[in-house]
Amino acid sequence: MATVAQVEPQFTMPEEHYINEDYGIRSWLLTKDHKRIALLYLISVTFFFAIGGLMATMIRIHLLTPTGNLVSHDNYNKLFTLHGIMMVFFFLVPSIPATLGNFLMPLMVGAKDLAFPKINLLSWYIFMIGGSVALYAIVAGGVDTGWTFYTPFSSVYSNTHVVTAIVGIFFAGFSSILTGLNFIVTVHRMRAPGLTWFRLPLFVWSMYATSIIMMLGTPVVAITLSLVALERVFHLGIFNPALGGDPVLFQHMFWFYSHPAVYIMILPGMGVISELVSTFSRKAVFGYKFVAFSSLAIAIFGFLVWGHHLFTAGMSIYAALLFSLISFLVAIPSAIKTFAWTATMYKGSISFKTPMLYVFGFLGLFCIGGLTGLFLAAVGLDVHMQDTYFVVAHFHYIMVGGMVMAYLGGLHYWWPKMTGRMYPEAWAKLSALIVFVGFNLTFFPQFILGYMGMPRRYAAYPPEFQVLHVLSTAGASILAIGYLLPMIYFVWSLRYGQIAGPNPWGATGLEWKTTSPPHKHNFEETPIVTEDPYIYTPELERQATFV
Amino acid sequence: MISPDSREEALHSGHHPDLQHHFDDMEQQKEASSLGMWVFLAQEIMFFGGLFLLYLIYRMNYYPVFAMASSSIDVKWGALNTLVLIGSSVTMAMAVHSAQLGYRKPLVFFLIATLILGGVFLGIKAKEYHDKYKENHVPGMANFHFVPEPDKTGSIPNGVTPEFAETVSHNPAYQHTALIFFTLYFIMTGTHALHMIVGIGIIIPMIVLAWKGRYDSSYYTPIENFGLYWHFVDIVWIFLFPLIYLINRTPHIG
């Protein structure tokens, strides 16, 4: 491989592609091309990520001192609430599906577009309406309920803009329902001739599983949060114990979506990792069918474990044990995937390109995040850990250490396909390293803090916790640099990046069989698939100029 | 009118005027649209499912007051509306059938019939809401007050004695429970009515297009999909009606 890479390849950009086929703001805002919509989403979610990140930065700065001197305690409540709302509903849920998924699903199945291009555009508009309403909620004065909107605080007592925030989330949810619907139909009905289910890239399988959760989970949280808003406006009593309502019922209904939603936030990342690990090991993914079905298993089990969020909320011990058991079962498909990725690397021809560095980061951090999840699934331990920093660290290891790592890895990997140009490898490697170090420094101390009893969502803490909090804040600053760097060099690469050519990684998969960037209709003619996925031929090795 | 075998032709020529560019042929386009509709309906089931769950749990917890509050809703109108809606499902099914055969005028006729029956349903629903408004049973209004009353036959419903009715009307806990019932009543039937209104919003332009001959036996997917939607909304009502109207109507049984 190395010898091939030394021959400097000279590619030229294709004369006509989806970016230059039409100009002007109208051609973007009225586009039905999934690739353009993916870019619209990319810009939007990056914007919301920046806002959520800004909130996170302020939280970490505030916690530098035990008394918390940056903002008032009320404002601190708003900060962590808005950080959660922005990151969960406006970044993590749409991140990989709406950007990489939107861009890649039709390419990977060999179609000209998603099944419903207009609905795809509609989903972006709905998303932006939701995002604008949520931004308005921030500007108008914020929300302080936590992103979980627990009643009756959210429906009765909070004096903040709860209803506005809920309206924003309702829109965002509707948008992700439409995205999921589009993906499911596309996978069923738009596959190229010869592309059987078991020839699909594993990314498609994971997006399919994600879409199922989006379709079946989101409507439940939509109606639940709508009821909270109605209860707040009309002083009803559905979830208000003072009026005969049941607040724990709210928690059940909220987590019925929001626990599966955390699998919306990790399954796409798993799909990305499957693609990356194969390409940079030059080997077929080990145990293809197991990896494919484990995505579906996670989606199905995901709907049966919501109760583990309520172990301390008043639940019968039998229900708690059952939920605990099923939560443990989720570890099985997750472990199958992790072992399969490791086995894929075994005796592979591994190259340490930036996307692969993110794969390594993902594997380590996902293992820690996943295994600490088992701590929390155990009823006895959870009573000790519930609502502590241990939980915060756990889910950040999955959401940030897992999903954001995979998202960045995927962006680097498909960047040449999306833009036709390579990112600067040295800078990218450096920022991957910074992200990894910064992330661990931010969140590992939080495991210890949580174990020692530091509750989450507190604006102040006992002085003996300060060292760990300072470490965490220092890590967050490093992490912020790691996230800023890609934003800069990705933009830089649009003009100065090396021209990539159709298949810089010598990867399998239909998306690499067309030009970079692809032209409007993706393929010159509908591809016909005659072989299984992830078969690396000598021809592909010759194409792999950047590996 | 297009002859039946022109559909076959259209399917294979790939140049059907209604074929969107990203589909290979009409069959793929049709299958994609109809799968899309089914998936959308699965999503709708979960949406209503959340409400049904809430309703069933509270009905189980607060059965006596739910039964009393249910008796205050006039079952006559609910039953009539059930018939109206089933009738509209029949006309909708006939509309789809006409579209499949490519009969333009019957298609327009049955779509209009569906529209009218949908309108009648909403009219009756509005009348029922107005009755509740007059009885001060609307949640969120300052004058909300629930007093169980004997039904039209003069007998006491659900074994409620006048003394107990008196207690219910003054006890805040019972009033709160009644508030939950009427909240769920309005939200569930309201969400259902909203789906009917959306349906009517879709069917009106559809009638115009059908009149202009937009649909024929080679292209009628929108009609078919709308039929699926309409039947789904009907089925929701088929569950709503017994759950909300028919609680303990016959206390002597069991």
User: pLDDT for A236-253, tens place per residue?
Assistant: 999 999 999 999 999 999
Task: Render the burial of B155-172: b for 16+ CB within 10 Å, e for the rest.
Answer: ebbbebeeebbeebeeee
Tokens of A515: 């030009």
Supply the pLDDT for residue A438: 97
Cβ neighbour number for residue B133 with a 10 Å cutoff: 11
Supply the pLDDT for residue A8: 55
Question: What is the sign, positive or negative, of the torsion defined by CA atoms of A504, A510, A514, A520?
Answer: negative
Nearest to A498 by CA among A438, A443, A416, A401: A416
Per-residue pLDDT of chain B (254 residues; tens, 9 = 90+): 444 455 455 545 556 788 888 888 888 899 999 999 999 999 999 999 999 999 999 999 998 888 888 888 888 999 999 999 999 999 999 999 999 999 999 999 999 999 999 999 999 999 999 999 998 899 988 889 888 875 545 555 556 677 777 888 889 999 999 999 999 999 999 999 999 999 999 999 999 999 999 998 889 999 999 999 999 999 999 999 999 998 876 554 43
Identity of the residue numbered A476: A
The alpha carbon of residue A256 is apart from the nearest alpha carbon of chain B, in Å, by 10
CA distance A230 to A270: 38
Supply the pLDDT for residue A1: 44
- B46 neighbourhood in chain A, CB within 8 Å: 215-217, 219-220
* H/E segment holding residue A218: helix A202-234
A234 contacts B139? CB cut-off 8 A: yes
Which of B28, B43, B187 has its CB closest to that of A230?
Answer: B187
DSSP class of A191: P
Number of domains in chain B: 1
Please report whether residue B198 resides in a domain.
yes
CA A228 distance to own-chain centroid: 26
Nearest residue in chain A measured CA to CA from B184: A238
Supply the pLDDT for residue B169: 86
Which of A106, A185, A245 has its CB closest to that of B39?
Answer: A185
- What would the 3-class secondary structure string for A486-500 be? HHHHHHHHHHHCCEC
Cβ neighbour number for residue A70 with a 10 Å cutoff: 16
**Average pLDDT of span A358-364:** 97
Asked if A333 and A298 count as a contact pair (C-beta separation under 8 A), the reply is yes
Between CA A508 and CA A514, with CA A511 as vertex, the angle to 5 degrees is 105
CA B215 distance to own-chain centroid: 26
Please report whether residue B67 resides in a domain.
yes
Supply the pLDDT for residue B251: 53
- Hey, which CATH number is domain A24-543, 1.20.58.2050, 3.40.630.30, 1.10.150.20, 1.20.210.10? 1.20.210.10
Tokens of A84: 């959660």
Strand partners, B216: B219
B140 contacts A243? CB cut-off 8 A: no
Asked if A390 and A443 count as a contact pair (C-beta separation under 8 A), the reply is no
Which of A113, A235, A245 has its CB closest to that of B180?
Answer: A245
Please report whether residue B7 resides in a domain.
no
A215 contacts B187? CB cut-off 8 A: no
Q: Between the CA of residue B13 and those of A112, B6, B19, what are the distances in Å?
A: 19, 10, 11
B143 touches chain A (CB under 8 A): no
Does the pLDDT at position A296 exceed 60? Answer: yes
The alpha carbon of residue A82 is apart from the nearest alpha carbon of chain B, in Å, by 26
**Average pLDDT of span A200-210:** 97
Supply the pLDDT for residue B166: 82
Does the pLDDT at position A486 exceed 60? Answer: yes
CA distance A181 to B39: 6
Tokens 């690397």 sit at which residue?
A: A345
**Average pLDDT of span A344-354:** 95
Residues from A contacting B (CB-CB < 8 Å) are 106, 111-117, 177, 181-182, 184-185, 188-190, 215-220, 222-224, 227, 230, 233-238, 243-246, 249, 253, 256, 521, 526
Task: Please tell me whether the peptide bond between B64 and the residue prior to it is cis, using omega within 30 degrees of 0.
Answer: no
Identity of the residue numbered A159: N
A237 contacts B54? CB cut-off 8 A: no
Cβ neighbour number for residue A469 with a 10 Å cutoff: 22
**Average pLDDT of span A345-365:** 96
3-state secondary structure of A465: helix
B22 contacts A112? CB cut-off 8 A: yes
Supply the pLDDT for residue A21: 86
Does the pLDDT at position A506 exceed 90? Answer: yes
A243 contacts B179? CB cut-off 8 A: yes
Nearest residue in chain A measured CA to CA from B176: A243
Asked if B191 and B48 count as a contact pair (C-beta separation under 8 A), the reply is yes
Task: Please tell me whether the peptide bond between A152 and the residue prior to it is cis, using omega within 30 degrees of 0.
Answer: yes
Residues A437-458: tens digit of each pLDDT:
999 999 999 999 999 999 999 9
A253 contacts B54? CB cut-off 8 A: yes
B179 contacts A215? CB cut-off 8 A: no
Query: Does this complex have an ipTM over 0.85?
Result: yes
Supply the pLDDT for residue B67: 85
CA distance A138 to A128: 15
Please report whether residue B17 resides in a domain.
no
The alpha carbon of residue A158 is apart from the nearest alpha carbon of chain B, in Å, by 19
DSSP class of A65: S
The alpha carbon of residue A181 is apart from the nearest alpha carbon of chain B, in Å, by 6
- A224 neighbourhood in chain B, CB within 8 Å: 50
Please report whether residue B19 resides in a domain.
no
Cβ neighbour number for residue A392 with a 10 Å cutoff: 20
Nearest to A516 by CA among A473, A477, A546: A546
CA distance B227 to B225: 5
Tokens of B199: 């349906």
The terminus-to-terminus CA distance of chain A in angstroms comes to 7
DSSP A100-126: IIHHHHHHHHT-SS-S-HHHHHHHHHH
The alpha carbon of residue A26 is apart from the nearest alpha carbon of chain B, in Å, by 20
Between CA A332 and CA B50, with CA A320 as vertex, the angle to 5 degrees is 90
- A37 neighbourhood in chain B, CB within 8 Å: none
Does the pLDDT at position A490 exceed 80? Answer: yes
The alpha carbon of residue A115 is apart from the nearest alpha carbon of chain B, in Å, by 7
Looking from the CA of A205 toward its CB, the CA atoms found within 13 Å total: 26
- B35 neighbourhood in chain A, CB within 8 Å: 184-185, 188-189
* H/E segment holding residue A425: helix A425-452
Asked if A410 and A272 count as a contact pair (C-beta separation under 8 A), the reply is yes
The terminus-to-terminus CA distance of chain B in angstroms comes to 59
List the CATH number of the domain containing B163: 1.20.120.80
Which residue range is the domain that position B202 belongs to?
53-245
Does the pLDDT at position A408 exceed 50? Answer: yes
Q: What is the pTM of this model?
A: 0.93
Burial of B212 (0-12, 13-18, 19+ CB in 10 A): exposed
CA distance B66 to B56: 10
CA distance A380 to A311: 9
